[in-house]
Structure 1
Amino acid sequence: MPDTAPSAGFWKRNQLRIAPILFLAPGALMFLIYVLIPIVQSVWISFHDWDGLGAKVWIGLGNYAELLDDDTFYVALKNNLIWLALYLLAIPMGLAAALFLNQSVWGIRLYKSLFFFPFVISQVVVGLMFTWFYAPDFGLFSQAIHWLTGAEVAILADERFVTLGIIAAGLWPQTAYCMILYLTGLNNLNPEQIEAARMDNARGWRLLWHVILPQLAPATFIAMVVTVIGALRSFDLVSIMTAGGPYGSSQVLSYFMYEQALSEYGYRMGYGAAIAVVLFLIMMVFITLFIVRMIAQERNR
């Protein structure tokens, strides 16, 4: 009994400090093992010439120097920037869909199910559906273009339109995801603030801009981060729909990394890791900007 009393006293004195650490420890351990350590390993591998099986050969910044002279890298980087710019359209589109569905009218649950459907299906299925949709011989889109203009357009075989076509396919499920975030936010709005704004004759755009959108800031932040990450790691749709073609015109950094590191083109793990590091740094730049802006807005409140 005298041996256990000091330990019991220690727990009571430090319970408020130790309990949060114990709750966070499993998640922190998983984050360390599956996120931080792989990031460090990728950076380390990027300084080597390695085929994934043999011995690593230290080449310093050689992979990065080669990357700067690789024309495919610049094509992939340009396409990723196009993805990023157009993919952000999912946020206002998701907000518009959420505002439309946040009504109490007959049949609204059916509409919600239809809008929610793209989010639950696999990216592979989305890619196959839009591949058939764009098919020049039987695709609905190609048939509509032919009916309107008399011209035949093969979206996925045309260097001018292929990236835009893949992005349109990606916007479908991404808009559904943003819609879900905003629907959740709309259900948690403060009704007192909205009622007070209406008493001050705030209607329409004024009510949305000054009252509703500020309360949806957390949902907007999550939508921004997820959309940016989705735009920069756009691998699934490119792989399914074009495999980077035609002639590499739809190449993006994530698929370029896969080609170099894990496909039959090379098994160049070091070069692929260098591409991954560049992609990670680009993601971190955008995410850091969002976080800094969010913190500044919170401090100004």
Structure 2
Amino acid sequence: MFLVYVIAPIFQSIWISFYDWDGIGAKTWIGIGNYVELFDDDAFYTSLQNNILWLVLYMLAVPAGLFIAIFLNQTVTGIRIYKSLFFFPFVISQVVVGLIFSWFYAPGFGLFYLFLEEVIGTPIAILADERFVTYGIIAAGLWPQIAYCMILYLTGLNNVSPDQIEAGRLDGAKGWRMLWHVILPQLKPATFIAVVVTVIGALRSFDLVSIMTDGGPYGSSRVLSFYMYEQALSEYGFRMGYGAAIAVVLFAIMMVFISGFIWRMVRDERSGG
């Protein structure tokens, strides 16, 4: 199943990227022509820049999820209500998240729009401003992503050894020292999964961009996955080869980040760090 539905499509996409093809007619071999055009395409660089911004800011979901998980792991009054509230973003569709934040930013009646009008006197239409639109979409994406990381860490905290915690307390560890030297080393598997899914989520950020801005204004909020869709499957193109070339670049970026993190984890495990 993995070979048929994952490995084979990867190599098929790489193969298609060397053709000029509309998805229906005959393919025309053009070698690296799609890649040459790609690296001279301003829209590609805008999409790549936005994806890097997504990657950097999306990683905030990992520490945020960790600290929320630590809070929810406590025994306090009403903790089940808190868990339900923090868990809620994870179970709703990305489409719903996009619509909620579109209303949140909406000029005239959006809560954030009215808040800015009250605080700074000059309201900003976030999704219509090229300077802020990508940040607004990333904020929308962080809401459910933090919830996902929180769930991973809650599961990991259930497997933390009480004996090591007690030993740390006897050695005088508490607060940040306890977290850094005793708890976090035992949460490495959860951290690995959280980082991987966050990197993947940042790079395949198609749905929120499509729902909230459709790549606008003026293409300023495009990301690579959305630009790939525009070129390969929308009314703008049906250029399957060019879209496949974008997909290959996106896959390469994803593999660099994930492979680097795997290498670091393996190195730490072998060195006992």
Counterpart of 1:295 in structure 2: which amino acid?
V
Residues 57-95 of structure 1 deviation map (CA, whole Å, 9 limit, x = unaligned): 000000000001100000000000000000000000001
- Selected match of 1:198 from 169, 180, 190: 169
Separation in structure 2 between the aligned mates of residue 161 and residue 102 of structure 1, nearest angstrom:
35
Mapped pair 1:152 → 2:123: yes
- Residue in 1 aligned with 2:226? 255
After TM superposition, list the pairs within 5 Å mapping 1:5-20 onto structure 2. Answer: none
2:254 match: 283
Q: CA RMSD in A?
A: 0.5
Q: Partner amino acid for 2:201?
A: G
| Alpha-carbon distance between aligned partners in 1 of 2:124 and 2:264, rounded to the nearest angstrom | 43
Q: Does 1:178 align with 2:145?
A: no
In structure 1, the residue matched to 2:181 is 210
CA–CA distance in 1 between the matches of 2:121 and 2:45? 35
Post-superposition CA distance 1:151-175 (Å, at most 9, x none): 1200000000000000000000000
What TM-score does the superposition give when structure 2 sets the normalisation length? 0.99
Quote the Cα distance in structure 2 between the aligned partners of 1:256 and 1:225.
23
Q: Which runs of 5+ in 1 are unaligned?
A: 1-29
Residue in 1 aligned with 2:51? 80
Inter-partner Cα distance in structure 2 for 1:223 and 1:143: 34
Which entry has the higher C-alpha Rg, 1 or 2? 1
Gaps of 5+ in 2: none
Partner of 1:23: none
Describe the SS at the equivalent of 1:138.
coil
* 1:52 aligned onto 2:23: yes
Identity, in percent, stands at 75
Alignment partners' CA distance in 1, 2:180 and 2:164:
13
Q: d(CA) in 2 for partners of 1:103 and 1:213? A: 17
Matches for 1:64-75 after TM superposition, within 5 Å: 64-75=35-46
Secondary structure, aligned partner of 1:69: coil
**Which amino acid in the other structure matches residue 224 of structure 1?**
V
Aligned length: 272
**Cross-structure match for 1:241:** 212
Q: Paired residue for 2:114?
A: 143
Cα shift at 1:187: 0.8
User: Displaced runs of 4+ in structure 1, greater than 4 A?
Assistant: none
Q: Say which of 179, 189, 199 aligns to 1:228.
A: 199
CA apart distance, 1:137: 0.9
Q: Secondary structure at the match of 1:203?
A: coil
Superposed CA deviations along residues 110-141 of structure 1, whole A, max 9, x for unmatched, are 10010000000000000000000000110000
d(CA) in 1 for partners of 2:167, 2:10: 49
Q: Deviations over 1:235-290 (max 9, x none)?
A: 00000000110001101000000000000001000000000000000000001001
Q: What is the CA distance between 1:104 and its match in structure 2?
A: 1.1
Q: What amino acid does structure 2 have at the position aligned with 1:240?
A: I
The aligned counterpart of 1:22 is none
Aligned-residue offset at 1:214: 0.4
Q: Report whether the alignment pairs 1:264 with 2:231.
A: no
Question: Match for residue 110 of structure 1?
Answer: 81
CA distance in 2, matches of 1:77, 1:107: 44
Q: Work out whether 1:37 is the aligned partner of 2:8.
A: yes
Q: Deviations over 1:25-74 (max 9, x none)?
A: xxxxx000000110111001000000000000000000000001100000
